[in-house]
Amino acid sequence: MSTTNKEPNIRELIEQKRQSRNFKELFEKAIPTLLFLIASVSIFTTIGIIYTLLSETIEFFKRVPFLDFFTGTVLKPLSQTPEFGVLPLILGTVTSSLIAMLVAVPIGLMTAIYLSEYASERVRKVVKPLLEILAGIPTIVYGFFAFTFVTPILRELIPNLQATNILSPGIVMGVMIIPMIASLSEDAMSSVPQAMRDGALGLGSTKLEVTRKVVIPAALSGIIASFVLGISRAIGETMIVTIASGSTKNFTFDITQSMQTMTAYIVEVTGGDAATGSTVYYSLYAVAMTLFVFTLVMNIIARAVSRKFREEY
């Protein structure tokens, strides 16, 4: 009697075990597909962005000659005789980015050297979070800071500086990307083995010589990559230049004058009176595509530099 009662229970347990194993096998087979779909979201998003930019940019170049766009020095999209030369925007973008890098590179690199080679652990724990706070400030705050604080100070030093100019936002952009350069460079320097430092010190080198001749060359790939990524960040900056550099589309090398960047032009067109389907509307995508190519080239350069100068220990 007891044997008969036990048999169904054993069969049920075996069946339950088989069903559980089948479910686990199906789940294990489904996991790679699910993870692939999740990973593909960014790829499909990038493809969608490129498709949108390309399709609208092609429509723009059906109306405006390619050479006129990339060689023209006059940009008057809303005039009765519109002209669509992108060089004023490219020059404004490059000028503001160069000013930003002139500020960010020396300060960021010196900060990284101090944190990596000279600061005590206690100081490093205080200074590095402060840098992260600086990186977390919204860019629109930086924009108003450049317009209401930095520009008035600069006008005291440079009397012919206009109320909106490219110098002030360039300086503030440099301040904004200091944490990026400092953090990435410091990480690269900290990855250099301590044995290399000890060996150089044992040969009679000073702390500065060790930093200059051993640590920096060994971490050069990470340092240069941080510079290139900083340039990419400056090129793509929007709110600082929109607020502080004005909307005058000057083709000039005078940094005291108002200039417009590609990102500021995109903001102006999207918030202006450009009707959908008009040439001005399509110029938005042509400029955005140009900006996309600029940023893509910077990222490719950063990866190439990192691979070329990478040191493995």
What counts of helices (H) and strands (E) characterise the chain?
14, 2
142-156, 192-206, 267-281: the lowest-pLDDT one: 267-281
> 89 or 277: whose pLDDT is higher?
89
Question: Residue 99: in which H helix or E strand, if any?
Answer: helix 87-113
Q: Given this model, what pLDDT does residue 309 score?
A: 66
Is residue 207 pLDDT above 90, yes or no? no
- Residue written as tokens 């999740």? 38
CA–CA separation, 88 and 264 (whole Å): 12
The span from the first CA to the last CA of the chain, in angstroms, equals: 73
CA–CA separation, 171 and 183 (whole Å): 19
CB 63 within 8 A of CB 282: yes
What top-level class would CATH report for the domain 75-309?
A: mainly alpha
What confidence category does residue 1 fall into, taking pLDDT thresholds of 50, 70 and 90? very low
CA–CA separation, 253 and 94 (whole Å): 11
Q: pLDDT of 102-134, one tens digit each?
A: 999 999 999 999 988 888 888 888 888 888 888
Q: Given this model, what pLDDT does residue 218 score?
A: 84
Is residue 213 pLDDT above 50, yes or no? yes
Q: What is the mean pLDDT of the chain?
A: 84
Question: Residue 84: in which H helix or E strand, if any?
Answer: strand 83-84
What confidence category does residue 280 fall into, taking pLDDT thresholds of 50, 70 and 90? confident
Q: Given this model, what pLDDT does residue 177 score?
A: 92
Q: Where are the domains of the chain?
A: 2-63, 75-309
Tokens of 116: 């990596």
pTM for the whole thing? 0.82
Sign of the Cα pseudo-torsion (101, 106, 109, 115, in order): negative
Coil, strand or helix at 249: coil
Is residue 311 pLDDT above 80, yes or no? no
124-133, 148-157, 161-170, 174-183: the lowest-pLDDT one: 124-133
CA–CA separation, 248 and 74 (whole Å): 11
Q: Mean pLDDT across the stretch 19-47?
A: 80
